[in-house]
């Protein structure tokens, strides 16, 4: 069996596919990942022993400017990604038995699978983008819904229209070139009626979250066996557990002045600090020896050595911290991150800092909540409930789908 996994997005979109590909390999299948050509992602996939098919432009070139991408940027990017999926994935999919897509609205992947005649699966890492009578859609480039509209079904219909405006012309142009009929609802076509939810059921339960029939596999975790750098080990051994602060791929979205604020807050708490540089290129305000700056390190090993983890609320970082049993302070920036922050607070395993720009006082208050014995105790207990076999569950489902020639509709 040979399985194609496709995504376009940040590390939080790529690393889970590396975990799934590793699980597929362990079950005796071949797996390859089509992902953006960023050097960081190529290195990650090489470390996992997974073949990398470069797909589309680099993510860094889109999101790492001085300002966040605009709606005009989205309307330029959408047809470029559709074209890249048809051009890049078609020759690869012809030699595969099934394809799975995730990441930024993967319009074009199902269509490649349809033309080749192999099963297609759409996976997501949360439920917020899936149509639901219980909550409205998130923001999307295009014509906004009228002010005062509160009917969720109407709002989701308008969301589908915005997706059509972004992706429809390019998608149907490529489908026509392949002799395929046009699609009138791109969003629902991409999602299918039975998408997969690659999130832990304790951290993000699926019941009642969407109008679609979900198959929840659990989170797809790539085991990280890398040792921590010797200098970091020495820093961790030199005193009480530090506070970790990092915002991952949040470049233009990282809170202004967060490194300075984090250093002041940690010092006020009598804690040292591990500061992750990330795409925002965070740096401490001075060269004092109570702050250690890291690049790409093994978070699975590091988080368990920390007193608390302050982060942006990506699904992967939230899950890694929860598995480590370490309290969290989530400072969300975009998309699903506020919901992960609220979930962390709801579970009592940390604090949600929902204000967009932390101050010394506000971050101190949140960190104090995370460092209480009660929060630490709940985080430790919950760690044992977060399952680690989601990638294996999904891998087996994919292999079953490939063997049967159709995507599963229950699980």
- Topology of the domain covering 230-383: Rossmann fold (3.40.50)
pLDDT band (50, 70, 90) for residue 203: very high
pLDDT of residue 252: 64
What span, in angstroms and rounded, lies between the C-alpha atoms of 312 and 30? 34
Q: What is the mean pLDDT of residues 8-31?
A: 97
Residue 155 has pLDDT above 70, yes or no: yes
Quickly tell me which residue has 């308008």 as its tokens.
Answer: 158
**Which pLDDT band, with edges at 50, 70 and 90, does 409 fall under?**
low
- The pairing of strands 328-330 and 308-311 is parallel
249/1: higher pLDDT: 1
Please give the pLDDT value at position 362.
Answer: 96
What pLDDT does 334 receive?
A: 86
Whole-prediction pTM: 0.95
The predicted-structure confidence for 27-63, as pLDDT tens digits, reads as follows 999 999 999 999 999 999 999 999 999 999 999 998 8
Name the residue with higher pLDDT: 251 or 307. Answer: 307
pLDDT at 411: 36
262: CB partners within 8 A, 6+ apart:
243, 245, 273, 275, 310, 363
The side-by-side arrangement of strands in the sheet containing 2-6 is 52-54, 30-35, 2-6, 98-101, 120-124, 196-197, 215-216
CATH of domain 2-221+388-404: 3.40.50.2000
The whole-number average pLDDT for the span 277-296 is 92
Please tell me the predicted confidence (pLDDT) of residue 402.
Answer: 95
66, pLDDT greater than 80: no
Q: Could you tell me where in the chain the CATH 3.40.50.2000 domains are found?
A: 2-221+388-404, 230-383
- Sign, CA torsion 261/263/264/266: positive
Average pLDDT rounded to a whole number, residues 244-268: 86
Residue position matching structure tokens 């490529």: 174
Give the pLDDT confidence score for residue 3 in this predicted structure. Answer: 98
Average pLDDT over residues 103-125: 97
Quick one: angle between helices 258-268 and 360-370, nearest 10? 50
**Using CA of residue 313, residue 4, residue 109, residue 406, what is the dihedral sign?**
negative
| Residue 410: band (very low, low, confident or very high) from pLDDT cuts 50, 70, 90 | very low
| 305-309, 342-346, 405-409, range with the lowest pLDDT | 405-409
Look up residue 81 and give its two tokens.
């990604």
Over 70: is that where the pLDDT of 200 sits?
yes
- Distance (Å, whole) CA 278 – CA 11: 11
Lowest mean pLDDT among 60-74, 101-115, 183-197, 354-368: 60-74
Q: Is the pLDDT of residue 284 over 70?
A: yes
Q: Name the residue with higher pLDDT: 252 or 304.
A: 304
For residue 408, what pLDDT is reported? 67
Cβ-proximal residues to 205 (8 Å cutoff; 6+ apart), any chain: none
Please, are residues 329 and 309 in contact by the beta-carbon 8 Å criterion?
Answer: yes
């Amino acid at each position: 069996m040979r399985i194609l996994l496709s995504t376009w997005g940040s590390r939080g979109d790529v690393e889970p596919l590396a975990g799934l590909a590793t699980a597929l390999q362990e079950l005796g299948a071949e797996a390859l990942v089509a992902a953006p050509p960023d050097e960081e992602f190529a290195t990650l996939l090489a470390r996992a022993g997974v073949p990398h098919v470069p797909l589309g432009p680099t993510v860094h070139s889109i999101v790492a400017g001085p300002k966040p991408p605009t709606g005009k940027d989205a309307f330029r990017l959408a047809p470029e990604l559709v074209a890249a999926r048809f051009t890049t994935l078609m020759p690869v999919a012809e030699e595969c038995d099934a394809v799975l897509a995730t990441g930024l609205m993967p319009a074009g992947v199902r269509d490649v699978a349809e033309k080749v005649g192999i099963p297609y699966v759409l996976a997501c890492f949360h439920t917020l983008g899936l149509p639901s009578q219980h909550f409205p859609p998130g923001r999307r480039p295009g014509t906004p819904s009228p002010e005062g509209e509160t009917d969720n079904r109407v709002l989701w219909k308008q969301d589908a229209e915005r997706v059509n405006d972004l992706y429809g012309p390019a998608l149907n142009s490529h489908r026509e070139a392949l002799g395929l009929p046009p699609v009138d609802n791109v969003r629902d076509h991409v999602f299918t009626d039975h998408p997969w939810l690659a999130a832990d059921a304790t951290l993000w339960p699926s019941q009642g979250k969407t109008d679609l029939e979900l198959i929840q596999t659990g989170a797809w975790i790539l085991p990280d066996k890398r040792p921590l750098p010797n200098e970091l080990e020495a820093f961790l051994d030199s005193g009480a557990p530090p506070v970790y602060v990092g915002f991952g791929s949040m470049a233009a979205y990282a809170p202004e002045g967060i490194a300075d604020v984090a250093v002041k807050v940690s010092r006020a708490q009598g804690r040292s600090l591990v500061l992750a540089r990330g795409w925002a290129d965070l740096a401490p305000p001075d060269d004092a020896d109570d702050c250690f700056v890291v690049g790409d390190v093994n978070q699975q090993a590091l988080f368990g050595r920390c007193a608390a983890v302050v982060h942006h609320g990506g699904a992967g970082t939230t899950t890694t911290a929860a598995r480590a049993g370490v309290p969290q302070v989530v400072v969300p920036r975009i998309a699903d991150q506020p919901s992960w922050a609220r979930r962390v607070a709801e579970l009592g395993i940390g604090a949600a800092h929902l204000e967009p720009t932390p101050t010394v006082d506000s971050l101190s208050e949140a960190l104090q909540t995370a460092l209480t014995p009660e929060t630490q105790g709940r985080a430790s207990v919950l760690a044992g409930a977060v399952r680690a076999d989601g990638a294996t569950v999904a891998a087996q489902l994919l292999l079953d789908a490939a063997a049967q020639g159709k995507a599963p509709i229950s699980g």
